[in-house]
Structure 1
Amino acid sequence: MHAFEVLADPVRRRILEFLGSGEMASGEVVEAIRAEFGITQAAVSQHLKVLRESGFARVRAEAQRRLYSLDASGLQSVDAWVGQFRSFWEPKLDALATEIARGKRERRSAPMTGRAGKRA
């Protein structure tokens, strides 16, 4: 399954958001997703399987528990694809950062008035 097909599903995106905060037991993922989306444990397990098999999540066993964590390898392919478009927005973001810095410098160097410390 292509990375964007995996990410097209809102349940899988939400699971990734949870895993982005740190490792979670499968039961915790199931409860959180069930509460938010109203789907069954089996459906959540299927989404976890898709995330695992496509390189977005990894699982490790700890006694009877299965602990899931984010796997960055799936996100790397997304980043590589998006990377080809960075040239469209990076110059604009750089220009914005320059303007913000210029405004801060101008406010710092503006003379102070005598009333309540307000700048002129």
Structure 2
Amino acid sequence: MNTIYQKNDVFVAIADPTRRKLIHLLASTEELPLHELTPYFQMGRTAVSKHLSILKEADLVTNRKIGRETRYRLNATPLQEVKDWLSFYEKFWNEKALLLKNIVEE
């Protein structure tokens, strides 16, 4: 896969559990600085910052500077691509569940 494509790929960004947890944390608040996000992880600020950079490259996170502090905010718009992709499989599994139900009822 092309490295440039990977940097902007929302699926690559959400593949890591640390980044999914960051998304969850940012979804539950308006915005947070790095020093408030770091305690949720067993890694240093630099590692958390790298994960935030990957989310930012995928446009899942925006940031703004307030003095010396950088505050991060979730941009959930790219997650629509994930939702659209999963909706096909939701339909698939609903149809299979209905088929199984009909077989069991017979």
TM-score, reference length from structure 2: 0.72
The one of 73, 78, 88 aligned to 2:77: 73
Question: Is 2:83 aligned against 1:86?
Answer: no
**Displacement after TM superposition at 1:68 (Å):** 0.7
Look up the match of 2:3: none
Give % identity: 31
Amino acid at match of 2:40: A
Look up the match of 1:112: none
The one of 14, 23, 27 aligned to 1:16: 23
SS at match of 2:59: coil
Look up the match of 2:34: 26
- CA distance in structure 2 between the aligned counterparts of 1:90 and 1:58, rounded to whole angstroms: 36
Question: Is 2:14 aligned against 1:7?
Answer: yes
Q: Rg: which structure is higher?
A: 1
SS at match of 1:47: helix
Amino acid at match of 2:82: V
**Displacement after TM superposition at 1:74 (Å):** 2.1
**Displacement after TM superposition at 1:90 (Å):** 5.7
- CA distance in structure 2 between the aligned counterparts of 1:29 and 1:11, rounded to whole angstroms: 11
TM-score, reference length from structure 1: 0.64
Amino acid at match of 1:15: L
Q: What is the alpha-carbon root mean square deviation over aligned residues?
A: 2.0
Look up the match of 1:116: none
**Displacement after TM superposition at 1:78 (Å):** 0.7
**Displacement after TM superposition at 1:7 (Å):** 1.3
**Displacement after TM superposition at 1:31 (Å):** 2.4
Look up the match of 1:40: 44
Deviations 1:90-120 (A, max 9, x none): 677xxxxxxxxxxxxxxxxxxxxxxxxxxxx
- CA distance in structure 2 between the aligned counterparts of 1:17 and 1:73, rounded to whole angstroms: 14
